[in-house]
Amino acid sequence: MTRYQHLACLLSDRIEQGLYRSGERLPSVRTLSIEHGVSISTVQQAYHVLEEKQLIVPQPRSGYFVASRKATPPVPAITRPAQRPVEITQWESVLELLSSRIEGDVIQLGSGIPDLTQPTLKPLWKIQARMAQKQDINLLNYDSLLGVTALREQVARLTIDSGCQLTADDIVITTGCHEALSVSIRAVCQPGDIIAVESPTFHGTMQTLRGFGIRVIEIPTDSVTGISLEALELAFEQWPIKAVVVVPNCNNPLGFIMPEARKRALLTLAQRFDAAIIEDDVYGELAWEYPRPISIKSLDMDGRVLLCSSFSKTLSPGLRVGWVAPGRYRERVLHMKYISTGSSATVTQHVVAEFIRQGYYLPHLRRMRQVYQRNYETLSCWVRHYFPCGICVSRPQGSFLMWIELPEAFDAVRLNAELRESKIQVAVGSLFSASGKYRNCLRLNYALPINEATEQAIALVGAAVEHAMTICSVENPAGTMLHIS
């Protein structure tokens, strides 16, 4: 990708996102040349590309203006999963995804790993070293089953930003958000029960439900507004649903933030049918909007929301420090926590508590939000440049995950197998469904370093997708093609 192509991509993104509005005057060629450190002619070439695409129009002696009408590129349409409880499969594919995670030479476009290279993480090491030097025997011992008090206090404080009013006593520390979700699910239902989930849904949640013998109903989910409340209501009327699991903020994998009104409506629905809500907020602090979006928990008056989160996506997954605010299910959650791992590791809890207490956490979060937002701009440029037409792309509002929908007949599992030869791995969409849907979808990670290797990987994936799409359109000439982006 040349410089002018890159710049064109970036500008068209800004137009799409409404940063430059319809009819607005664009920055001068000279301004852009200085801002991006490129030559005047590069900017002129970029503007030329946009002009050709009819995104901008030149006005003599005044510069360039955003064209009055700009078709937004399509996001994935609302999903249409099966409307009945199903058994969950896909464990083998999850295992494959996990295995490639530790192969050093694989470019892991499919992982859920955050960027761990930023300097704002450094104090974590210093705190760890200082703690070891203290040689405090209490750090070797079990701590409370609830978790270390100092950490629970910090977590309770952090949740204020999502509108919650919690105290340390409302928090139970867990071994990552994984355990928070796992104990929450086990606290609110029994094997054989039915739980409603967004479709697509994080594969970890899906496998947990499977492991506990719980059936799921996948609810149609819109890539902008979230779970369909209409479909959920119908499901509630038909089935004895015990709980709903949602990722309302920076959804994994779709990236949306559920509008506040819909969060309220979801809670009302859960109240009406007396169901619990398991709210996975693990990406909530990485929302680009300020202040961060509220949690459903913040609206919860009768303790039916179990708010689950961790420091795995914001700080470090290797620490395995997560937490749950279990509301009225506190005692059951504590029992499930006890039988799952007993107390959580002591030192790591203190390390995280100190990192927050010493004021390192919020600046780190701010930086990560900026990094991911910038990365997103670049990645979406690359995707549009290197991927063929006929795809839909999610428009995440935070975090570092992007969802790509390819034509129905496309087989991402086959694609992934092919890519393994080039040491590239993507997350295939079928991981995110209980009923084997989304085989035509991919999830990409843009927490990876934005460098030539990553661009080359995206280019390779794009070429492989194009190749596969040619084949599948030959094999399925009548296959539904989606809008062209």
List interacting residues with a second copy (CB under 8 A): 91, 94-95, 98-99, 101-102, 113, 116-117, 121-122, 124-126, 128-129, 131-133, 135, 137-145, 174-176, 178-179, 182, 186, 190-191, 204, 207-208, 210-213, 315-320, 334-336, 338-348
Which residue shows structure tokens 């390819």?
Answer: 406
Nearer to a second copy, 158 or 336 (CB): 336
CA 161 to chain centre: 19
CB of 172 to a second copy, least distance (A): 13
Phi, psi of 58 (to 5 degrees): -85, 145
Nearer to a second copy, 346 or 416 (CB): 346
CA dist 326 → 35, 62, 164, 166, 240 (Å): 48, 59, 13, 11, 22
CB of 104 to a second copy, least distance (A): 9
User: Token digits for 83?
Assistant: 């409307």
Mapping DSSP to helix (H, G, I), strand (E, B) and coil, where does residue 445 land? strand
CA dihedral 29, 74, 433, 236 (to 10 degrees): 120
Run of H or E residues at 268: helix 260-272
- DSSP-derived secondary structure for 144-195: -TT--HHHHHHHHHHGGGGT----GGG-EEESHHHHHHHHHHHHH--TT-EE
- Is residue 440 a contact partner of residue 446, using CB atoms and an 8 Å limit? no
User: Token digits for 450?
Assistant: 């934005």
Nearer to a second copy, 42 or 346 (CB): 346
Nearer to a second copy, 316 or 399 (CB): 316
CB of 151 to a second copy, least distance (A): 14
Nearer to a second copy, 53 or 126 (CB): 126
CB of 95 to a second copy, least distance (A): 7
Nearer to a second copy, 294 or 450 (CB): 450
Dist. CA 279–CA 86, nearest whole Å:
21
Nearer to a second copy, 332 or 357 (CB): 332
CB of 210 to a second copy, least distance (A): 8
CB of 302 to a second copy, least distance (A): 24
CB of 221 to a second copy, least distance (A): 22
